[in-house]
Chain A
Amino acid sequence: MERPLTNHIDKGREPLNLAEYERVGGYKALRESLTSLTQENILQLVKDSNLRGRGGAGFPTGLKWSSMPSSSNSPRPRYVIVDADEMEPGAFKDRILIEGNPHQLIEGMIICAYVVDSEIGYIFIRSEYTLAAKRLKRAIAEAYEKGYLGFNILGSGFNFELRLHISSGRYICGEGTALTNSLEGNRAVPRHKTPRQTESGLWGMPTLLNNVETLCNIPHIVDKGAEWFKSLSKCKDGGTKIFGVSGKVKKPGAWELPMGTTIREILEEHAGGMRDGVRFRGVLPGGGSTEFLVEQHLDVQMDYDSVQKAGSRFGTGTMIALDDHTCPVGMVHNLESFFARESCGWCTPCREGLPWTARILKAIEDGRGEPDDLKVLESHTKLLGPGRTFCALAPGAMEPLQSALKFFREDFERHITDKRCPWR
């Protein structure tokens, strides 16, 4: 089985330096892009590959790139931004990719910039990814030195400036429009969806934003083609995916597997199944802001549509397993406290609704729950739904709660009637 993204990642040692990376075929795709492919060629390749954004929403990458306005009649500079803010509870895939092979990301980014005719790029990385940032910095310097970045790249006439921005911290910065605000030195409050960032983004200029993993796929697609990329997958979404598992499993970790691998395979084969003495109760398949799936869903394939059909979201593809020794109310309380704390404070439902749910969950967990509490929680899951809040943070926050109320309702009720947490 091919593992293009992680082929050259070895946790035990330093990542490939530029020369090593080149030796294993690195920057070949870039060279080819700049010398023998047109922008349209590459765009078509990306479209044909069925690559969907790995940042959580799964938006088709080719389509997103083509929504950049034509460069002849739009203002400059045009920006490309990599979202490396990874703070979704349970997610750690982008860190592995950057720490493991920073040149892969840089190469993907340069190709992307070339296709959308951008001259300046930012990698927006969270402050706690110190090792990743250190390695990226070094790799960027190497790339500049070798002429992959900067002025007149490989004699093609294409210029691209790449900057690393270390975030000052906040989950909401990962939201694409909030990220833009943060880069501009504003409070990282999300922006309205229209106009799209591709038309008016960073400093009002055309701006394209992609996730780390999304862009890491690009050199391979250019190198080996769209058909090859699709063939990696077990479903219609192209490529492999870094799946991760955390929680009380035997071997928590991350693995590059075909898109469409089943949850069971990931949990049981790769993560080694639940630890001895605990039993599986459910899983948040795509990170902290997705809905619980339970026993009956174990054979669901991990791809955007199948997970959606099962009632949850593919998200980041990094799962968190819930076991029978862990209190689901406590777990959801933990998540809601997280989301409440990370709310940017811009829109009412999120700013006021999330802390309320967190407080109710705390009260239930502490044995101070009241019968009407579940009603209030339920109404929140509805009132904080998509379209009602300014961005996707609060709707995401409601996904674990809503599904927990569905699958673990008796646990909530027991807390309230027994006036204590049965797990404590």
Chain B
Amino acid sequence: MARIYIDNVQYEVPEGQNILSACLSLGFDIPYFCWHPALRSVGSCRMCAVKQFRDENDARGHIVMSCMTPADDGTRISIDDNDVREFRAGVIEWLMINHPHDCPVCDEGGECHLQDMTVMSGHVYRRYRFKKRTYLNQNLGPFINHEMNRCIQCYRCVRFYRDYAGGRDFNVFGINNRIYFGRCNDGTLENEFSGNLVEVCPTGVFTDKTLRKHYARKWDMQTAPSICPHCGLGCNIIVGERYGSLRRILNKYNHDVNGYFLCDRGRFGYEFVDGPSRIRQPLSRHDGDRSDGSLKAVEKKEALDLFKGISMDSARTLGIGSPRATLEANFSLRQLVGAENFCCGMSEHEERLVSSIIDILRNGPTYSPSLRDVEMCDAVLILGEDVTNVAPRMALSLRQSVREKPMEIADSLRIPRWADASVRQAVQDEKGPLFIVSPMGSGLDDIAARTLHIAPDDIARLGFQVAHEIDPDSPPVLDLPDELGRFAAHISAALKSSRRPLIVSGTSCGTLSVIQAAANIAWSLSRTERIAALSYTLPECNTLGLRLIGGLSMTDCFQKVLSGEVDSLIILENDLYRRAEALLVKGVLAKCKHVIVIDHILNRTGKESDLILPAGTFAETTGTLVSSEGRCQRQFSVMPPAGQTQESRIWISDVMAALGKDSAVNYSTIENIASEIAREFPVFKDLTEVSPPVNFRVFGQKIPRQAHRYSGRTAMPANVTVHEPKPPDDPESPLSFSMEGYSGIPPASVTPRFWAPSWNSCQAVNKFQKEIAGVSTGGDSGKRLIEPLTTENGVYFSELPEAFNFDNTKWVVIQSFHIFGSEELSSLGDSVSQRIPNPYIGLNGDDAASLGKDNGCMAQLIIGNVSLKLPVRIIPTLCSGLIALPVGIPGLEGVNLPAMGKIMED
């Protein structure tokens, strides 16, 4: 600890910080702009000035930038000194010279860091009497709005976009006071993390374009803590609502998971909630013909009666759960239909891969890292994954991890790590070792030390050999070509010389042996006395959680229907057409006497069902998800489900009640379900501690979802009634749907927003951390379910695949992923849908030429019973002999890959 003196009072702060973060950690308010806890210090804005004194006898002192000055032992500063206050007032006055003062019509108004800092720094009256400078704005695509006149030249955007996120289509242009932040020309920002500019920019230059369509002020939004439903990483988000519609997603700081940043799918993928495919009413088929989609709206009561009728009429009903639904909803369905009738809703193939991953994580000696752990790894091997498109936020963490090893250069020059510009100058383009072995190029190739594009089976073989190089006990690959052998030796040498190696793999290749090879490598490393991390990406937000509950596979389930063993299905939040071939699904659904769907969007499965119960989306649902890290986290509804909609698990508990299923447990409360789950599955023993209990109160009060300035509550429904309705109850959580309650800092998992006195912007998060960029004040959120077994080493996998051998007729069709398009729900939103690529058949240039195909020309691909006629896309990096087909893109759902394919001759 270092002893520092602030305005003559002594404090203890951890070593190695700068004065600014030390002071903010202590709770002092020092204004700042160019500094950002994740982007660190460059000293450009000069807003954070303090006075520093040499010793107790120095009365004059000198002005320093607190963000650029170490808080060493004995440091003496004043925040309050007159000179320095005057200087800070000057800085903010300069920044406001050209600012348009358009706060009333600015989307940032009310949550603007510039507004906060202006007030904090004491600039009140305008002295500048000359013309303001103005700029032209750019169209930056469907996500981000650009309003350059508001810019205060803090350089944060360009530092985030380029230095932190690796984007290259954005920069700072010009010189002196004519500086421009943007692109060369109008055009969509390409980087997958562009949305963070909304929060990184301290003023209203970059704002959320999706929010503009239904704007509300921060203080007028009802907000709740939630978990992003769009991939397996479990990023924490703040969901904002007004008038019953979802308005926007903000990052919710979680030290271990997403830190300060989200990916664009997570931030902008919410629009499906109020989109055209949303179901708001129970729907029932009246005429019995499933194919013509003639569903009619019915009332809730009638729907429950229909459900009851169906149940009576069914001999055996299977429940199909969903990896995109909460643990509680899935478990409730399982209780409804009985464990032996519950299907986990994944294809058999996927389920096998996921099970194997779980076994590896649960029984092996390596740990699955949090995203924060990922950032601190100093050597990385990615086996078969396009991380940017599959688990986007992890790609941002990997970008930071390659900075870890070169930090030694900065350390040896005694440059503090927070001195960002100095560190980058010393490190230059030096990067830590990151290797990518995958079937085709990926979004992280630009930071990779080496990439190799080979077929999945060869990826596995290379992986096995890497493990063998590290630990001779791990089985070797005897017939590996020299080139691959050398590469394996190179990778293993790099991994062995690192302190914290990381292996990333997952289900993308669709090959068990790739997953096993990754395990062998991680296990071999953990026998060399280093902490090896092993991270598997998983496709959906609750894939891991659902698999821990288990159940029949989809194939079993279909089998049972087709054999007549089962005559009815209850399908929970799952579009079977995305899981299996259309022909098969159609046959299965047709064979069923009854099909009931509980979902919030109307998809093809729903259209072919007999009864649909309208569920809540993640925004209207309280429940628990398990991320690919194995972290259990709770999402809270931001609004009660409107009208006839209800959370899935409530529908199920209503049905149970209607059916008179008398159980000892009341399935209508989250807490009961959670303790049931914990009882049945030991792995979930901590489930009830994931967030504070339902009856959690601070000073007897709930935590309000509405800000204390929330306006117009009495008038909001004035077109309907002039009486202010009672706020909806929320017996399911410590949060209330109202303004009243505890407005201090609650535990992190139930923190609905970041706001603190004089901190209206998202930067208020500083006040919610024990120490800047550290853990949350009110205790961290989320519980890790799976920790490595330290006592026992994994038994190496030894089943090696054959080398890939392309015989010119049988192509292996693999999956290619797209951050926008491959995920179901986000794709339904208006903005994201503008970024979805058209379906294509991906071929390497030589292969295309051998088939006589050019970029863009049509080709016909036959996979089993499926025939696809699509334009060819040349993917130069794709391994020869493979065809890449985009996953999940509208039109290509339900093609199970990898598979053998054939290109038809013209």
Contact = CB atoms under 8 A, between A and B. Distances in A.
A and B touch in the complex (CB under 8 A): yes
Interface stretch (B86-94, B194-202, B327-335, B649-657): B86-94
Nearest to B127: A376
Contacts of B414: 195
A390 B43 contact: yes
B45 interface: yes
Contacts of B43: 192, 347, 390
Interface string B145-177: 000000011010000000000000000101111
Interface in A320-352: 340-349, 351-352
Contact of B87 (A203, A347, A356, A388): A388
Contact of B175 (A170, A199, A355, A388): A170
A194 interface: yes
B175 A352 contact: no
A351 B63 CA distance: 19
Contacts of A349: 46, 90-91, 94
B174 A345 contact: yes
A345 B179 contact: yes
Contact of A191 (B94, B97, B422, B427): B422
Nearest to B424: A204
Nearest to A342: B176
A204 B98 contact: no
Contacts of B419: 192, 194
B63 A194 contact: no
A204 B426 contact: yes
A383 B128 CA distance: 16
Contact of A204 (B45, B64, B68, B428): B428
A376 B425 CA distance: 37
A363 B47 CA distance: 28
Given A194-B419, A346-B44, A390-B46, 14 more contacts: A192-B68, A200-B415, A204-B426, A204-B428, A348-B91, A348-B153, A349-B46, A351-B153, A352-B95, A352-B98, A352-B177, A355-B177, A363-B130, A390-B43
Interface string A189-220: 00110110001100110000000000000000
B49 interface: yes
A9 B13 CA distance: 61
Interface in A57-90: none
Contacts, number: 105
B153 A345 contact: yes
A66 to B, nearest CB: 18
A356 B128 contact: yes
Interface of A: 170, 187, 191-192, 194-195, 199-200, 203-204, 340-349, 351-353, 355-356, 359, 363, 370, 372, 376, 379, 383, 387-390
B421 interface: yes
Contacts of A356: 94, 97, 128, 130
A187 B415 CA distance: 22
6 contacts: A192-B421, A194-B422, A200-B426, A345-B176, A347-B46, A356-B94
B413 interface: yes
Nearest to A180: B425
Nearest to B415: A195
B117 to A, nearest CB: 12
A353 B45 CA distance: 12
Q: With a 10 A CB-CB cut-off, give which of B45, B409, B413 has the most chain A CB atoms.
A: B413
Interface string B49-74: 10000000000001110001000000
A199 B90 contact: no
Nearest to A343: B176
A356 B44 CA distance: 19
Contacts of A390: 43-44, 46
A389 B46 CA distance: 7
B419 to A, nearest CB: 7
A343 B179 CA distance: 11
A40 to B, nearest CB: 25
B629 to A, nearest CB: 35
Interface string B703-746: 00000000000000000000000000000000000000000000
A131 B722 CA distance: 85
Contact of A348 (B44, B64, B130, B172): B44
Contacts of B153: 345, 348, 351
Contacts of B94: 348-349, 351-353, 356
Contacts of B179: 345, 351
Contacts of B98: 352
A344 B176 contact: yes
A189 B833 CA distance: 40
A356 B129 CA distance: 9
Contacts of B427: 204
A200 B95 contact: no
A192 B410 CA distance: 14
Nearest to B89: A383
Nearest to A389: B46
B177 A351 contact: yes
Contacts of A344: 175-176
Contacts of A170: 175
A204 B425 contact: yes
A388 B63 contact: yes
Given A192-B422, A345-B153, A372-B127, A387 B63 contact: yes
A343 B45 CA distance: 14
A404 to B, nearest CB: 20
Contacts of A200: 413, 415, 422, 425-426
A312 to B, nearest CB: 21
Contacts of B130: 356, 359, 363
Contacts of A363: 130
Contact of B95 (A192, A348, A376, A389): A348
The winner among A187, A200, A347, A352 for most chain B CB atoms within 10 A is A352
Contacts of A187: 172, 175
B421 A191 contact: yes
A347 B67 CA distance: 14
A195 B43 CA distance: 14
A349 B177 CA distance: 11
Contacts of B68: 192
Contacts of B63: 387-388
A347 B48 CA distance: 12
Contacts of B47: 348
A389 B42 CA distance: 12
Contacts of B172: 187
Contacts of B95: 348, 352
Interface string B398-430: 000000000001000111000101100111100
B90 A340 contact: no
A348 B87 CA distance: 12
A351 B422 contact: no
Contacts of A340: 176-177
Nearest to A352: B94
A416 to B, nearest CB: 14
Contacts of B129: 370
B177 A345 contact: yes
A389 B172 CA distance: 20
Interface in B466-498: none
A191 B422 CA distance: 7
Contacts of A345: 153, 174-179
A199 B87 contact: no
Contacts of A342: 176
B87 to A, nearest CB: 6
